[in-house]
């Protein structure tokens, strides 16, 4: 591990020098790549520097103890420092191991988030709407830019389906764990006898695809224009600005009616389309080890849950890691860290085991 860390430190110094070089500064793309690489290396280099200082302090303390000419009182002080130094070094090694886990290149990408009502009729649509708002609040709290691309409202409120683009560095690394069936247990507003009902909504999280990832040929597309529906005012609802794009080879359909401009809606629809096609390609590539979106989202049936939201008990339980929080109200306001952080820790622990060959 030391050789790897020293190599990363040397790479960091090289990147620092290049960032000061006018040759690279004049190249925006290269400059962006260097800045991204620096941001990835800096936490590792800082942790390694701190670890080296701790190791040097431990060596100095042990040298003091072994030196016969050193004052006994100074030896005693050095002896008292050693347990704390050893503990800090052990903790530092764990931090470094986590930092050295190979990064998924998709983690830094933007996200296409899709929420759909599952089993449960109108109550499922209401819950899907609440889930969608929860994620938008969480994204905004994290400083991400949020754009609602499409929203199909249900008759009694809530949503049948909603799609949003979430932009910001590291968005996918946070949202990737949310894909799956989310089950809700509560008394619906339409329930007259106070009985608890169970409904479900599905969440799909896709890394936003770049044009270099997926090439979409114009001849493979059918583009339809129509009037936008829902909110937006007269200017939106009476002009043919909404766009529906069909990818003919895969029969993948995407629509966007968020913008007044047809061209802007088309650009956003193409972003979603490329992301869906990228996910399909990932699914096919990893079919032997993971069913990808199918296993994450499933059919929307209540039995395929990854998480349960129990309103009578104010409880949220994630079934993948068996973690429960009784802060459902704040959770639904977008403060999902009590579940998110243990999920990320479990994911890192699994990656560490793979790294150690366990």
Domain borders along the chain are 2-99, 111-212+291-356, 218-285
Task: Write down the pLDDT at residue 235.
Answer: 43
Burial class (CB in 10 A: 0-12, 13-18, 19+), 113: buried
CA distance 236 to 125: 25
Instruction: Tell me what the mean pLDDT of segment 210-218 comes to.
Output: 75
At 78 the pLDDT is 87
> What local confidence, expressed as pLDDT, does residue 142 receive?
94
Domain 218-285 class? alpha beta
Dump pLDDT digits (tens) for 95-124.
887 787 777 778 888 999 999 999 888 999
Q: What is the pLDDT of residue 217?
A: 85
Is pLDDT of 299 > 60? no
User: What are the tens digits of pLDDT across the range 139-163?
Assistant: 999 999 999 988 999 888 899 999 9
Distance CA 112, CA 257 (A): 16
Residues 311-352: tens digit of each pLDDT? 999 999 999 999 999 999 999 999 999 999 999 888 877 776
Give the pair of three-digit tokens for residue 15.
């990147």
Query: Residue 273's Cα: distance from chain center in Å?
Result: 19
How is the beta sheet containing 315-318 ordered, strand by strand?
145-153, 159-167, 111-117, 197-207, 180-186, 305-310, 315-318, 323-325
Element (H, E) at 285: helix 262-285
Lookup: tokens for 206: 């896709």
The total of other beta-carbon atoms located within 10 Å of residue 206's CB is 28
Question: What tokens were used for 355?
Answer: 């790294």
What are the tens digits of pLDDT across the range 269-298?
888 888 888 888 777 766 643 444 444 444
Q: Quick check: 233 pLDDT over 60?
A: no
Looking at the domain 111-212+291-356, which fold is it?
A: Alpha-Beta Plaits (3.30.70)
How many Cα atoms within 13 Å fall on the side-chain side of residue 138?
23
Higher pLDDT among residues 211 and 55, named by residue: 55
CA-closest candidate to residue 347, choices 320, 307, 314: 320
Q: How many helices (H) and strands (E) does the chain have?
A: 11, 11
Indicate the pLDDT class of residue 231, thresholds 50, 70 and 90: low
Token code pair at residue 342: 């243990």
pLDDT of residue 93 exceeding 80: yes
DSSP state letter for 326: S
CB atoms within 10 A of CB 322: 9
At 320 the pLDDT is 92
The b/e string for 77-87 (b: 16+ C-beta within 10 A; e otherwise) is ebeeeeeebee
Both tokens of 275, joined, read 């992301």
**Residue 300's pLDDT band (cuts 50, 70, 90):** very low
Rounding to the nearest 10 degrees, give the CA dihedral for residues 176, 302, 272, 345.
0
**Do the two domains 111-212+291-356 and 218-285 of this chain adopt the same fold?**
no
- In the numeric block, the tokens 């009784």 are attached to 326
Alpha helices in 111-215 (DSSP H): 121-141, 171-175
Rounded to an integer, the average pLDDT of 179-185 is: 95
d(CA 71, CA 74): 5
Q: Is the whole-model pTM more than 0.95?
A: no
Average pLDDT across the chain, whole number:
84
């Amino acid at each position: 591990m030391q050789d790897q860390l020293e190599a990363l430190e040397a790479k960091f110094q090289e990147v620092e020098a290049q960032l000061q070089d006018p040759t690279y500064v004049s190249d925006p793309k290269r400059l962006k790549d260097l800045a991204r690489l620096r941001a990835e290396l800096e936490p590792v280099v800082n942790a390694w520097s701190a670890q080296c200082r701790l190791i040097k302090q431990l060596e100095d303390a042990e040298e003091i103890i072994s030196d016969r000419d050193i004052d006994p009182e100074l030896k005693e002080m050095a002896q008292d420092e050693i347990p704390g130094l050893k503990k800090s070094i052990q903790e530092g090694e764990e931090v470094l191991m986590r930092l050295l886990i190979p990064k998924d290149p998709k983690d830094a990408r933007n996200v296409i988030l899709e929420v759909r009502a599952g089993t449960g009729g109108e109550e499922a649509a209401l819950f899907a709407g609440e889930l969608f708002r929860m994620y938008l609040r969480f994204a905004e709290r994290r400083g991400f830019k949020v754009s609602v691309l499409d929203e199909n409202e249900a008759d009694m409120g809530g949503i049948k389906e909603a799609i949003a683009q979430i932009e910001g560095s590291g968005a996918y690394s946070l949202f990737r764990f949310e894909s799956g069936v989310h089950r809700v247990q509560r008394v619906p507003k339409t329930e007259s006898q106070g009985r608890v009902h169970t409904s479900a909504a599905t969440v799909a999280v896709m890394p936003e695809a770049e044009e270099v990832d997926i090439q979409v040929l114009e001849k493979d597309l059918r583009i339809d224009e129509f009037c936008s529906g829902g909110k937006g005012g007269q200017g939106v609802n009476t002009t043919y600005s909404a766009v529906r794009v069909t990818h003919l080879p895969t029969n993948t359909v995407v629509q966007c009616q968020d913008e007044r401009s047809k061209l802007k809606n088309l650009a956003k629809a193409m972003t979603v389309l490329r992301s869906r096609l990228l996910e399909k390609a990932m699914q096919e590539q990893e079919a032997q080890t993971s069913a990808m979106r199918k296993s994450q989202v499933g059919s929307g049936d209540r039995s395929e849950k990854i998480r349960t939201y129990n309103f009578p008990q104010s409880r949220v339980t994630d079934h993948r890691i068996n973690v429960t929080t009784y802060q459902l109200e704040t959770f639904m306001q977008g403060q999902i860290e009590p579940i998110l952080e243990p999920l990320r820790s479990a994911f890192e622990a699994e990656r560490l085991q793979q790294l150690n060959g366990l």
